[in-house]
């Protein structure tokens, strides 16, 4: 009798994998079906903007470059006062609806001077005035 009991305790237990595989396949199928239904419900209709036709023959005009250095303000390498500069900016922007004004300032200048001139230019030209950086 002892020998038969001793043999049973030394044998390895058997694991039946088929019921475990059935459960895993059922759970996997459940998650696949749920993910497919959630993906269908999350769709949102969006109207994409249409591209506006542009005139390829007419390139944008060159920007008006205003330079600010230690000597003062210059336009086209010619020194100019602030009042005539603002008038020329208005004229340039009126003639060129897609034109832009660029302020090119030297790095050695005080920041307050650059901001002052840039503010005056923006008051005249609005969003079409920018500061050049390098």
**Residues 67 and 73 sit within 8 Å (Cβ to Cβ):** yes
Q: Which pLDDT does position 3 carry in this prediction? A: 54
Question: Within the chain, which residues score under 50 in pLDDT?
Answer: none
Q: Which pLDDT does position 60 carry in this prediction? A: 80
| Pairing, β 72-75 against β 64-69 | antiparallel
Q: Which pLDDT does position 26 carry in this prediction? A: 96
Q: Which pLDDT does position 40 carry in this prediction? A: 62
C-alpha to C-alpha distance for 131 and 114, rounded to whole angstroms: 9
Q: Which pLDDT does position 132 carry in this prediction? A: 86
C-alpha to C-alpha distance for 35 and 28, rounded to whole angstroms: 11
**Residues 82 and 75 sit within 8 Å (Cβ to Cβ):** no
Q: Which pLDDT does position 55 carry in this prediction? A: 57
Fold of 64-131: Nucleotidyltransferase; domain 5 (3.30.420)
């Amino acid at each position: 009798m002892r020998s038969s009991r001793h043999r049973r305790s030394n044998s390895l237990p058997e694991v039946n994998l088929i019921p475990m595989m059935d459960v895993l396949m059922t759970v996997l199928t459940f998650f696949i079906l749920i993910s497919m239904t959630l993906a269908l419900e999350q769709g949102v209709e969006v109207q994409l903007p249409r591209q506006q036709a542009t005139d390829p023959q007419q390139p944008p005009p060159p920007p008006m470059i205003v330079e600010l250095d230690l000597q003062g303000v210059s336009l086209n390498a010619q020194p100019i006062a602030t009042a005539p500069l603002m008038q020329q900016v208005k004229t340039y922007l009126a003639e060129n609806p897609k034109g832009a004004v660029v302020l090119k300032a030297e790095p050695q200048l005080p920041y307050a001077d650059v901001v002052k001139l840039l503010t005056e230019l923006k008051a005249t030209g609005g969003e079409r005035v920018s500061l050049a950086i390098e």
